[in-house]
Structure 1
Amino acid sequence: MTTKLPVLEKFRSGDVRVGVIGLGYVGMPLARAFIEKGVPVLGFDVDPVKVAKLREGVSYIGHIDSEVVRGMREKGFDATTDFGRLDEVDAVLICVPTPLSESRDPDLSYVVASARAIAARLRPGQLIVLESTTYPGTTRDVVLPILTEGGLQPGVDFLLAYSPEREDPGNPDFSAPTIPKVVGGFDEASREAASALYARIVVRVVPVSTLEIAEACKILENTYRAVNIALVNELKVLYDRMGVDVWEVIAAAKTKPFGFQAFYPGPGLGGHCIPIDPFYLSWVARKHGLSTRFIELAGEINTSMPAYVVGRIADALNDRSKPLRGSKVTILGMAYKKDVDDPRESPGFELMELLLNKGADVEYNDPHIPVLPTMRHYPNLRMSSRELTPDYVRSRDCLLVATDHSAYDWPRIVEQASLIVDTRDALRGVPSGRATILRA
């Protein structure tokens, strides 16, 4: 099928306006990348609070300063909750969450809602690109039928592509322009248009033959990490039982210049991608009559880590003649990774719920998250970060290092705490002071 619209040159020239649906940890860096290359962006989000802040030049993402947002506004960025304005842009990039349901099935409700909003205003010549991580077949089998409900046809009236996001929040070594972009199109014209658009903002575009190849690429990237993290998590439990320091083992192994890449254990998986994406592939495999045993085993190991950590805390308190019930436990770090304010799928929430269910008095500190947001699976965990004053730290029975933010003064904390359970190897080399340190 060949497009009858003279749109390819438009995307090659860059004389376009881009729309981004979903102004979160993926959508905002993407919008910033286009703005910095002189491409105007209209952002769409269902959250009126976010949109109001952006219009006031205020950022709600820790690693994007408000000064950056104000600069974006001056260069042609605007935000709205009015999805009726989708026909004002030439390309619509969908960057919405793709969580799991309670039964660990794909929840594509945000993608479907975005596609319906686009379909209601879809006009000839527009390019639609899905960036949200999902299983192979989503763009063709879920998004496309919605977009064609009004009679417009892909490759003839509009263009359709998939290009997986590769954002790493808070990582100063990688930003949207420095990361190669994989692009798959419904047809050649769609792929060329999307490739031309992204070529304006990234170091390299990697075109692939189909939508499904691009979708499967993202799932492979994240499943690779999930499986290898599960391996080191399993080894952590084994090596602990054997009295072997898993962190030192990994440090030694990564000196090999070939055939080994270091992955690190932790209290559980966090972030939007790694805890979720492999289960999308497991789900679609079942639809094809297959089981993904490696993925499912990795999922079992990784999801068991919070309970393992809580067991280690209970054992450590028991050694000090204290029951977990009634003990005062403070979690250090509720973000899913170091030095960001991103709580998505953070294991800190499950750790907190497990400790509360066992009767512990649980609080938290996170310099990047002053108040816990309402989480999809943990709507009742509402509290504010506690200041780590000397008196407060001394009053707690146990500190749990869940996220090793750089802002923490570990020597001072160790001097004041009585018991610390460290899941990130944050305290290696720190003199123990008065604290008993247990690695978990």
Structure 2
Amino acid sequence: MTDDLLGRHRSVLPDWLALYYEHPIEITHGEGRHVWDADGNRYLDFFGGILTTMTAHALPEVTKAVTEQAGRIVHSSTLYLNRPMVDLAERIAQLSGIPDARVFFTTSGTEANDTALLLATTYRRSNTVLAMRNSYHGRSFSAVGVTGNRGWSPTSLSPLQTLYVHGGVRSRGPFAGLDDYDFVAACVDDLKDLLGHTRPPAALIAEPIQGVGGFTSPPDGLYAAFREVLHERGVLWISDEVQTGWGRTGEHFWGWQAHARGGPPDMLTFAKGIGNGMSIGGVVARAEIMNCLDANSISTFGGTQITMAAGLANLNYLLEHDLQGNARRVGGLLTERLRAAAHVPAVREVRGRGLMIGIELTKPGTDEADPAAASAVLEAAREGGLLIGKGGGHDTSALRIAPPLSLNIAEAEEGAAILEDALRSIQ
């Protein structure tokens, strides 16, 4: 049955639509932190549909909210008043930390970042954008144009002039050998030098922790230091919170809060986890920025009633059960467990925060990326009953571990043991 489905997939869908595993699996259902495939195999899920099933599979509170809303009305567009959309927007505006915030809902993180770029370039009357090396912001034409990861950038054509800044990767690049203080100072000097050679940009867009890039991040405070330089020139800061938002890092509710000196960003984008699998994305911005468009605009599917009901239920559950605190506690344990197991020569680094953990693999004794090893560990983990992801700016050589935030200690220990065996298998 799965082989037949694979053949049908390949005959009708694009060749560039990637599938994991030598023998791809069809996931048919899930519960809690586990999923099952079409052959009845049960897996502990440490990737959550690319960080999207943030709370749990088949969470009763979300399932009930979706079912009840579907029984009333599923969709009406933004041309009509929409109570669930207003309710969720009020909650997100308050949680964002951005003063006089306005919220616009989309259906994905790509679309959210695309909207943020539209707002920034319109507000600033500039199509020059600063982005980070090793970054990823989505698959639309404009989002690809600010993506600093060659593996996810299929064209150099773009509506934007993008300039790439140092700092998103702490342990690689020309400043890797510096201590944190000097690293930040060097990146700031690089930014100032760059700005001296170009017309003032519209914005800097940056992920506090680079997701597709392999869960890399700068020292705390880098983006606050950048913001001081940018603010002097009127340049906006967009924090891409598509993967870091809603408490996943454990220490903070938003990734930007690790760089909080000087206050919140001018805009933040979100998606993935807030819907717990439903298609929700969005932008939060100060009113003057959000309201800068002077033409009509709507969102046919952004903010539709059924996704807003899911988002509200999921956000309530997340806050009421302190899943941010759980991410900090269980994520800390899982990270230490993985670091203790990372004596395999191929493991270059274990990094991350909360339940957002990366393991970078290289050819032993070198800094050369080893994507074949990453693929082998991915396969071995699946054989052991664990689903993980992969990424990285160096030929996809990092393992990405991001379970639902309700992960418990026993499941963390189980997953770490499977992953340790998978890592040993490639020696």
The TM-score bracket by the shorter chain reads: 0.3 to 0.5
Q: Which protein is bigger by CA-based radius of gyration?
A: 1
Kindly indicate whether structure 1 or structure 2 has the higher relative contact order, using CA contacts under 8 Å at least 6 residues apart: 2
